[in-house]
Amino acid sequence: MKQAFNTQEAHDLIDFRERPQIEMILNSVQRGLVVRRSELLTRENNKGNDLPIRLRVPMFPAVSALFLARASLVLSNPIDPMFGTINGYFLRLSDHHGAYKDITGLPAFISLFSSSSDSSLQAQKERLWALELLRDGTVDEYSYKIASRRYAPTLLFTSFDSLACCYPSPGDDDREKNLLIETIETILNSGGRYAAIHMMRMGLLPWIRGVLAGRHFSLSLHTLSIRFSFLKLISTALDLMDKTDPTSELAEYILIEISGLFKSIVHLYFDTIQSNLIDRHGERMNQSYTDFCGAIYKLLHTINLLALNCRERINGDFGLSSSTANGIEISVACSILSETSTNEMWRAKVVSSIVVLPFRVDSSKDLSLTKKFCISLLSSVVRDDSDIWNQTLVFLLRRISLLSVLAGETIRDDPDIISLILSCQLRCMQVSALSEWKECLISLLSVENLPGFLDEIGNQSVISFLQQLS
């Protein structure tokens, strides 16, 4: 192709005005390939090895190839807003007579994303161009490693935090915020297991919780479309973490983080419902409200699956045998259970998440809600016969047993709770949770009611047990 550009016919074409710019790119890439091959030969010769066949022709990462393709289109159109910026990038290449040395790098991303243009409009165009390059060019784990070596994930987090502090201007179309979230979600998804572990170490989950719980919450996620994009990012992050096969120590960390994330998602849910972002009684109610609730409940179910996965890797009853500082408050749990009372399918998923995650009881308000909370949990089991309880019923019973110790007389010997516990006996037998059922029932009965029942529970029907109870 380079030879074709140097022919007399190419020079004589009057309409081929973009030839000098395209030729500049080709010359730069050719020199870059020569430099790259020379560097590889030197490195291998120093080791006493021959250059492997796979390295004799350097391979372009997707992000580098995409940059060259889009740069060619830009330089073919002098009226393109990015023409001056991209043209300047190649003109500034001085090493080895203008060699393109970003073959295995992230070309122009830092300079574009941190644009120094005097025009704020031009600076935003350059940032958007850089974000689209990163989003579309990160297609696999190798591409993600290149982006991470240039600290791209950290830059994206910081940039979003900066935008969160800015009041949205009239007519702001939120392109940059949406594109930032979309780019983070895309590179995380494309980078696979490596990206999930790396971004988790970079503080992805604390950053997400910080956005949802920060004082600029209403500014950073001020439209419904941005909130949908953010929910998609959270869902992608949790799905990938569920596939990382975490160690016991890492599983405890994830469990604590998603407990805080659960509370933040509940906060997002109520803030959205109570704001004017969704008209629950208008024409848009059926579409936007239903879609948003569906996205929230699906995310809570994902949290449940991830929590169960972490539980299998944790030694002991972490967050189950006691109240933890980072757990879910009973008041928060009761609020969302009340909101999902009309949808049995999603209610079951929410309950499953609540009983698996660590929880916290640290106020008289929480203790006063204990009875309501226990009845809500048990009622969900009694009313719903889906398979969702196969894994979580054991955790539900342990949670109620612990609450009976913490709440004391608030729920002990309560006929409504005991009746619901008795109604769960058959379900507990089906999922091999009968021993937890017995322990839960015993914990709810006072000492004076225990004699005569311990030997009967295992081999008497519920009817017989109720007759003895009366």
Angle at 274 between CA 328 and CA 278, to 5 degrees: 120
Q: Is 326 helix (H, G, I), strand (E, B) or coil?
A: coil
Higher pLDDT, 129 or 323: 129
pLDDT band at 470 (very low <50, low <70, confident <90, very high): very low
pLDDT band at 220 (very low <50, low <70, confident <90, very high): confident
Q: What is the mean pLDDT of residues 290-301?
A: 80
Angle at 99 between CA 95 and CA 103, to 5 degrees: 120
pLDDT in tens, 253-288: 888 888 888 878 887 887 887 776 665 555 445 567
pLDDT in tens, 184-209: 999 999 998 889 889 988 889 889 98
Cβ neighbors of 113 (< 8 A, separation 6 or more) are: 126, 127, 130, 131, 155, 159
Residue 90: count other Cβ atoms within 10 Å of its Cβ.
18
pLDDT band at 181 (very low <50, low <70, confident <90, very high): very high
CA distance 211 to 177: 12
Residue 341 has pLDDT above 60, yes or no: yes
The answer to whether 350 touches 384, Cβ cutoff 8 Å, is: no
Burial of 274 per CB tally in 10 Å (0-12, 13-18, 19+): exposed
pLDDT in tens, 391-433: 788 888 888 888 888 777 778 778 888 888 888 888 888 888 8
From the list 161, 143, 160, the residue with the least C-alpha distance to 198 is: 143
Instruction: Count CA within 13 A, CB hemisphere, residue 452.
Output: 10
Higher pLDDT, 324 or 69: 69
